[in-house]
Structure 1
Amino acid sequence: MWQPELAADLAEAGVEYALVDDRHFLVCGFRHEELHRPHLTESDGRPLGLLAIDERLRYLIPFRPPEETASYLRELRSQGHGLAVLADDGEKFGGWPGTKDWVYGSGWLDTFLQAMERLTAAGEIKLSTAQEAFRQVPSGGLAYLGTASYREMEKWSLPPAAQRDLTTLEEELGPKHLAASASFVRGGHWHHFLVKYPESNRMHKTMVALSNLSRSRGDPPAARRAIGRAQCNDAYWHGVFGGLYLPHLRNAIWRQLAIAERELRRGESLAYEELDLDNDGYPELWI
């Protein structure tokens, strides 16, 4: 997920570069062949490096035989590209259904590592950290990215009727035309999960209110720790394998918010405040 103003915050925190999905570049008009280099962006005059995560690598590893990854890397090299970035979920390597048997039981991991060793020994690729790549590969220039997330998340954030309309459009376009225009056929803003699911919004706005209250009271460590735990993002949205529809995740957020409020209001008598806590234009009572 990306928002343009993140660049200033990350740079101010001392972050040198960020990894983002290549789709974030594609929806802004970049071409695939332009993304095999680092780029630079800025916000409020604060520069930040950007590395585009290669979607094809994410789908090859670990779901396809390692030789397909080797062939793809050779193809990029033959085209003169200097970089291919992989950053992905660790649970793909044993946590997702069926991946433990595939990655370890069938020997995929051993075969993959052997394939990478052969490519490295032959001088066809060099394995490096993201920091090394960012500093050593020539820059692709300036890039300003709009708010974006990965394709599925933008679709999931839509209301049901709009989601059905988008699915219909994708089916009407068909695989060939959809592949050519996929970067511009997109869903909504990932923040819309807070609109689509009222409890997600209530959790989020309660967390924000308690965070502001904590700052105003000197940020007691126990309260700030609980608020930080309540900011764990998994319970505010959903994917295929989990998210806000799992009650134990939501319960964990509410528990941490209760702990934070207990710490912040310790010793106070029962009281209430009237305010628009959930930002829907109507007042609520915060007891």
Structure 2
Amino acid sequence: MKFCRFGANCFGIVEADVVYDVTQALDVLPQVRYPFPASDLLIANLDAVRERATQLKKDAPAIPLDKVRLLSPVANPGKIIAAPVNYTKHLQEVLADQHLHHGNMINHIEKAGLFLKAGSSLIGAGDNVRLVHTDRRNDHEVELAVVIGKCGRNIAREQALDYVAGYSIGLDMTIRGPEERSFRKSPDTYTVLGPWLVTKDEIDNPGALDLSIAVNGEVRQKANTSDLIIDVPGLIAFASSFYTLHAGDVIITGTPEGVSPIVPGDTMVATIERVGTLTVQVSAA
């Protein structure tokens, strides 16, 4: 099933080119008071919301998908965890191009570890990526995004997929330069998630998905998640050995070779097999 957030924090089921407005399904969410839970409330209660949404769908208003403004399918991720240079060919291209590494130490992911992106950088497909520091190179990076569905720590890779709520497309936007990664990758709008959440039952093997991104119709990146150095179960196990993972945490799994510059006025179209297509406009901040 595909769930989206749209408009004024409405909630919908996506089928083909239609969104069914089942916002009333959110009434099953528990009422909370400060201090708010560490988990995203919707993702933590997704099973109950899904059951109610399914009941509501038969009488729900059907809205053309191209008439809604899509938000990030996760409103409040506690952490956005990113995997640097997690495709071998991307590691090779970064090492070979001074304009990508700027003299920074570039290590294999198992040496470099993971890094965090600011939650304030998150947007959905209906928002523009608004570039800052346009005097410097700004790049696109398309990635499979994994949304965690329940709390866990020190998760074994054999059980890792049991902790997944679903999948989405992630764009890890990047300013090139000498500074630390998370600093250059965390300006407002520099994490795109969408266009919706595909529940985990729709994708039995996240390690065999084609992914690509085109800019103004030109394909820039094209690969398969089978090329990941650390696969999805491995990333969940690795991340949970350092952090407690909470429902709604997002792991973006790394980008393949072909990263390249974008400028205001560009249109990015990212596609991941069995997830969907994400179209995002680029503007200046």
Work out which of the two has the higher radius of gyration on C-alpha atoms and give 1 or 2. 1
User: Greater relative contact order (Cα 8 A, min sep 6): structure 1 or 2?
Assistant: 2
TM range (shorter): under 0.3
TM-score for the superposition, normalised by structure 1: 0.22
Pick the structure with more helix per residue. 1
